[in-house]
């Protein structure tokens, strides 16, 4: 076998590595490093969210995405902005354990419900911010999956929860000495995989964001009509997705915005998988205007840890006003970030759906994307 290195080691020269503070990265964010990949970043908006204006930073190489999101944000801004609610929050981790009998599995499931305070105390002994909110058991024969859900302050929280779970398991084990921890993650969490449990139970922040866009703005700015938007939303985002067998994909392009904001702000791009699940609804008001909303039950974001400490990513969080841990109100920064994500998705949904109705999907992409071919 011809060794790989000789073939193409020269290309490495095209990968930038200078002018970068590697001290922050090495041993924390990456290994076997050869440099960095620059991803262009732009700002859509600003968009008023619950009365305050925020920018939507997006890092992407997909032409037209930023312009489209910006157009949607502008239309929404012209009508007073959007409103949001964070319905619930909590990062999850679900170890799988084994016990010697089905009866003991049943007893374990009962125990973790009845002795929740005991387990909560053990979990919280490992963390300053983490608060155990819920423990959902799932028995399969002699195996038990234990889905822990915890408030994790401004961190996305996977590591915090994993640490708390580890401790909680050791306390449970005192009462079930024959219990064996098979793995700290049994996929019932579920992390970075499409699954109904996150759609139904939530993971990270569960956010709904909506705006009312006047018929006038729909026509002048978005070049379409409320009726056509509402109808296409039914045909595409409800029926089309239903026929495709989608779980949580009842939207036009939520993932585009989630991925772009995640990259811009140092989030984990693998978590786009579940963070982008979204149902987009559109309704016509009695006065003929459009209400558009996005329901996103599992936006997994943090403003400390992971890639959020890197200079450019941190700058983007600062621009939003949510960098680092919120000392006054732990969790408020990551909540704000989740609302910016949702507002960005709302904007992009509005814009793309308008474009689809008007039939200029193709032309926009062609114009922006195809120069190099």
Looking at residues 137 to 156 of the shown chain, list those that interact with its own copies (rule: CB under 8 A).
138-143, 145, 155
Residues 6+ apart with CB under 8 A from 248: 194, 196, 198, 199, 274, 277, 278, 279, 297
In angstroms, the CA 247 to CA 342 distance is 19
Q: What torsion do the CA atoms of 7, 8, 9, 14 make, to the nearest 10 degrees?
A: 170
- Site for its own copies contains 94 (CB under 8 A): yes
In angstroms, the CA 142 to CA 104 distance is 8
Query: C-beta of 23: minimal distance to its own copies in Å?
Result: 11
* Nearest Cα to Cα of residue 112 among 128, 89, 94: 94
The sign of the dihedral angle between the CA atoms of 292, 298, 302, 305 is negative
Query: C-beta of 296: minimal distance to its own copies in Å?
Result: 11
Determine the interface stretch with its own copies among 117-125, 134-142, 213-221, 332-340 (rule: CB under 8 A): 134-142
Q: What torsion do the CA atoms of 99, 101, 104, 109 make, to the nearest 10 degrees?
A: 70
Judge whether 352 and 78 are in contact, CB under 8 Å.
no
Q: Write out the binding residues for its own copies, residues 49-88 only, by CB under 8 A.
A: 51-55, 59-67, 70, 83-85, 87
Task: Annotate 164-188 with b (16+ C-beta within 10 A) or e (fewer).
Answer: bbbbbbeebeeebeebebeeebbeb
Annotated catalytic residue within 192, 236, 284, 360:
192
- Site for its own copies contains 177 (CB under 8 A): no
- Site for its own copies contains 199 (CB under 8 A): yes
Query: C-beta of 250: minimal distance to its own copies in Å?
Result: 5
Strand 143-151, strand 204-213: pairing: unpaired
Annotated catalytic residue within 124, 191, 210, 268:
268
Query: C-beta of 135: minimal distance to its own copies in Å?
Result: 14
Q: How many Å separate Cα 150 from the centre of its chain?
A: 16
- Site for its own copies contains 131 (CB under 8 A): no
Query: C-beta of 269: minimal distance to its own copies in Å?
Result: 4
Q: Write out the binding residues for its own copies, residues 201-240 only, by CB under 8 A.
A: 201, 208, 210, 231-232, 234-240
Q: Write out the binding residues for its own copies, residues 279-338 only, by CB under 8 A.
A: 279, 281, 283, 291, 293, 295, 304-307, 309-316, 318-321
The only residue of 78, 106, 133, 332 in contact with its own copies, by rule CB under 8 A: 106
Determine the interface stretch with its own copies among 115-123, 216-224, 259-267, 336-344 (rule: CB under 8 A): 259-267
User: For this structure, is 223 an active site residue?
Assistant: no
- Site for its own copies contains 20 (CB under 8 A): yes
Query: C-beta of 184: minimal distance to its own copies in Å?
Result: 5
Residue 124 or 268 having the CB closest to its own copies? 268
User: For this structure, is 192 an active site residue?
Assistant: yes
* Nearest Cα to Cα of residue 265 among 225, 310, 229, 203: 310
Judge whether 225 and 218 are in contact, CB under 8 Å.
yes
Active site residues: 62, 192, 268, 365
């Amino acid at each position: 076998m011809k060794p790989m290195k000789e073939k193409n080691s020269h290309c490495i020269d095209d990968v930038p590595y200078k002018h970068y503070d590697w001290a922050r990265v090495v041993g924390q964010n990456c290994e076997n490093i050869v440099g960095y990949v620059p991803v262009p970043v732009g700002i859509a908006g600003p968009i008023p969210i619950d009365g305050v204006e925020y920018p939507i930073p997006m890092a992407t190489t997909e032409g037209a995405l930023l312009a489209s999101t910006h157009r949607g944000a502008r239309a929404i801004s012209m009508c007073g902005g959007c409103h949001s609610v964070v319905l619930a929050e909590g990062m999850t981790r679900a170890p799988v354990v084994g016990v010697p009998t089905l009866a003991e599995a049943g007893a374990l499931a009962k125990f973790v419900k009845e002795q929740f305070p005991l387990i909560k105390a053990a979990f919280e002994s490992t963390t300053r911010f983490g608060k155990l909110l819920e423990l959902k058991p799932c028995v399969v024969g002699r195996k038990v999956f234990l889905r822990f859900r915890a408030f994790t302050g401004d961190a996305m929280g996977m590591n915090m929860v994993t640490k708390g779970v580890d401790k909680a398991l050791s306390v449970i084990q005192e009462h079930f000495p024959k219990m064996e921890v098979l793995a700290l993650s049994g996929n019932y969490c579920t992390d970075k995989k499409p699954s109904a449990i996150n759609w139904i139970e939530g993971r990270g922040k569960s956010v709904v964001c909506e705006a009312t866009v006047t018929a006038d703005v729909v026509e002048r700015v978005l070049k379409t009509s409320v009726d056509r938007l509402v109808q296409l939303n039914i045909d595409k985002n409800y029926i089309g997705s239903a026929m495709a067998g989608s779980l949580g994909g009842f939207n036009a392009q939520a993932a585009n915005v989630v991925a772009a904001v995640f990259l811009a702000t140092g989030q984990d791009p693998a978590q786009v998988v579940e963070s982008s699940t979204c149902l987009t609804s559109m309704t016509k008001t009695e006065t003929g205007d459009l209400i558009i909303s996005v329901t996103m039950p599992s936006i997994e974001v943090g403003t400390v840890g992971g890639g959020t400490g890197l200079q450019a990513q941190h700058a983007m969080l600062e621009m939003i006003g949510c960098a680092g841990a919120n000392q006054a109100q732990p969790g408020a920064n990551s909540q704000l970030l989740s609302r910016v994500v949702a507002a960005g998705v709302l904007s992009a949904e509005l814009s793309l759906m308008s474009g689809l109705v008007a039939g200029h999907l193709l032309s926009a992409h062609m114009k922006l994307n195809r120069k190099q071919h």
